[in-house]
Amino acid sequence: DAGVIQSPRHEVTEMGQEVTLRCKPISGHNSLFWYRQTMMRGLELLIYFNNNVPIDDSGMPEDRFSAKMPNASFSTLKIQPSEPRDSAVYFCASSHSSRNTGELFFGEGSRLTVL
């Protein structure tokens, strides 16, 4: 199993540009989570999906952030327009919600720097 795959691993962009982060969850997992990690705020949940349906997006900072999951094997997190305060590491994680382990499998993260 390849694990959760995220791309790009690193992104440097200028303020105002659109940023798209991508995630491929583990095959067979039906829950997908987007987290953001910063030194100041730690690991924050942005949004999660069950069976491709967004369940809770209350963690999305503002309307500049949007996430989609068009099918079971792909999700995107988009920031438009990006701002320097969006600089962080963005993690995607997946799990099999019907198994009672609750274990999350994380990707390696996408490190975003907005200049």
Partner 1 sequence: SQQGEEDPQALSIQEGENATMNCSYKTSINNLQWYRQNSGRGLVHLILIRSNESEKHSGRLRVTLDTSKKSSSLLITAFRAADTASYFCATDSGNTPLVFGKGTRLSVIA
Binding residues for partner 1 (CB under 8 A): 4, 33, 35, 42-43, 45, 48, 56, 91, 93, 101-109
Write out the two tokens for 21. Answer: 């982060």
Residue 79 or 107 with smaller CB distance to partner 1: 107
Please report, to the nearest 10 degrees, the dihedral formed by the alpha carbons of residues 50, 107, 104, 75 taken in order: 0
Nearest approach in angstroms of CB 13 to partner 1 is 20
Residue 71 or 101 with smaller CB distance to partner 1: 101
Nearest approach in angstroms of CB 81 to partner 1 is 27
- 98 to each of 30, 51, 55, 112, how far by Cα in Å? 8, 11, 15, 32
Residue 113: beta bridge partners?
12
Nearest approach in angstroms of CB 62 to partner 1 is 17
